[in-house]
Amino acid sequence: MSKTNKLTLYIFLAMLIGVGVGYWVHESYPKSTINVFSDNVKLLTTIFLRLVQMIIAPIVFCTLVVGIAKLGDLKTVGRVGGKAMLWFITASLISLGLGLMLVNIFEPGVGVDVSNVDKAAVSELMDKSKGFSLAKFVEHVVPKSVVEAMATNEILQLVVFSIFFGIALTALGEKGKGIIHTLDTLGHVMLKMVGYVMLVAPLGVFGAMASAIAKNGLEILKTFGMYVGEFYLGLLILWMIMLIVGYIILKRRLPHLLRRIASPMAIAFNTASSEAVYPKMVEEMERFGCKDKIVSFVLPLGYSFNLDGSMMYMTFASMFIAQAYGITSITGDVGQQIIMLLVFLVTSKGIAGVPRASLVVVLATGQMFGLPAEGVGLILAIDVFCDMGRTMTNVLGNALATAAVSKWEGALEHTDHHQHPHH
């Protein structure tokens, strides 16, 4: 059994044990004990996510700069970037449109009781989304200090700086070779560290699961079972679309790609953080046969621009709130819905790859269209279950985008050292 498969197995075992332990605590102990247990067991997840966050900024910086330098010239950078963006925008529109269509068909928000909303949790999110405007958005995209962007793990800002740095380094020609070599080595050191950090992944997964189930029990899924079920049905349709397109482009290589990304997807599902798997994804995509220069250019971009699962969720969640509160100006007006969809297309760029980040965007964008902020409180409790699915979808979307651009660029090798030993 290969290392990757072992990790996947341990993660799934950790998830099952987490659900079992969480359920047992939920059923056997009073609320005060549950809260203490939930907070303490969550520390395992926090440790894992912090370890990942520790290495994510240097990895993005090193891989992206080296990727651009290896692409060689600005023409190639523009061409590869253009293909990637074309894929991202098309995928985003499909995801948003699909979410909108399904939520209008199913109407999960109609008849939901809106009287007992968790106000305290909403006000915490409100603080995060305060003053969300175009100006803020631009500020969020363009870094004022690369050190600050690294310190706060603003992936999008890092991407902007790394692109500038990579282009300048390419323009230096011979002089810049030493730096490229150094950054390349540094990138490999970081990827080595990934291997060590991933050993903690099962513990992180166990903590996340045990904490969520101990706090909320399995009852929560009954109340909102329809909402979660319909959302996952949407994800399933989106997966089918993505995999059909993936098959058209990659043909027989597709199952092999899916095997490669099984463990990153399992981690993404359980931690609900796409950051948590970025380093692992870089490694697996290269093993799949994508050239490092393409991987290191397209993946970081994808993390900022290509969040298919989150996109679908945004239309789904915002329409659910509009239906629950009976806001007919949105539910009855397709034109309004399409405008909202286009606004989401912009505001979602640069969502942080952390749990609940999508909700902040739903809250901020929803208020522009007159959705009550309390509405987010309806879905807060089950957001964690939806978050798992949408994060996993984001990872699949980025893997397919990277493989597709590699294929179009003729940079997809058929070698895979791990699967076929020489007979």
The verdict on residue 318 lying in a domain is yes
The verdict on residue 420 lying in a domain is no
What residues are paired with 290 via a beta bridge?
412
Q: Determine the 3-state secondary structure of 290 from DSSP.
A: strand
> Residue 217 corresponds to which amino acid?
G
What residues are paired with 412 via a beta bridge?
290
Q: Is the dihedral of CA 161, 167, 172, 176 positive or negative?
A: positive
Give the per-residue pLDDT at 220. Answer: 67
Give the per-residue pLDDT at 352. Answer: 66
The verdict on residue 417 lying in a domain is no
The verdict on residue 415 lying in a domain is no
Express each pLDDT in 272-296 by its tens digit: 888 889 999 999 999 999 999 999 9
Q: Residue 403's domain is classified under what CATH number? A: 1.10.3860.10
Express each pLDDT in 300-311 by its tens digit: 999 888 889 999
Average pLDDT over residues 203-221: 85
Residues in the chain: 423
Given a contact cutoff of 8 angstroms between Cβ atoms, the answer to whether 171 and 11 are in contact is: no
The verdict on residue 388 lying in a domain is yes
DSSP characters for 315-361?
A: HHHHHHHHHHTT-HHHHT-HHHHHHHHHHHHHHTTT--SSTTHHHHH
The verdict on residue 418 lying in a domain is no
Going from the C-alpha of 172 to that of each of 69, 128, 167, 176, the distances in angstroms are 10, 41, 9, 5
DSSP characters for 186-226?
A: HHHHHHHHHHHHHTTHHHHHHHHHHHHHHHHTTHHHHHTHH
- Provide the domain limits for residue 52: 3-408
Express each pLDDT in 150-178 by its tens digit: 998 888 889 899 999 999 999 998 999 99
Which of 62, 63, 88 is closest to 349 using CA atoms?
Answer: 88
Express each pLDDT in 383-422 by its tens digit: 878 999 999 999 999 999 999 999 999 999 986 554 444 4
Residues 145/151/157/161 CA torsion (nearest 10 deg): 60
Q: What percent of the chain has pLDDT over 90?
A: 59
Give the per-residue pLDDT at 354. Answer: 65
Number of compact structural domains in the chain:
1
Which pair of tokens denotes residue 229? 């079920």
The verdict on residue 63 lying in a domain is yes
Calpha distance 54→137 (Å, rounded): 25
Average pLDDT over residues 330-342: 92
Q: Where does the pLDDT of residue 72 fall: very low under 50, low under 70, confident under 90, or very high at 90 and above?
A: confident
Which of 294, 289, 290 is closest to 66 using CA atoms?
Answer: 294
The verdict on residue 422 lying in a domain is no
Helices (H) and strands (E) in the chain, counts: 20, 0
**What predicted TM-score, i.e. pTM, was given to this entire model?**
0.89
Query: What mean pLDDT value characterizes the chain?
Result: 88
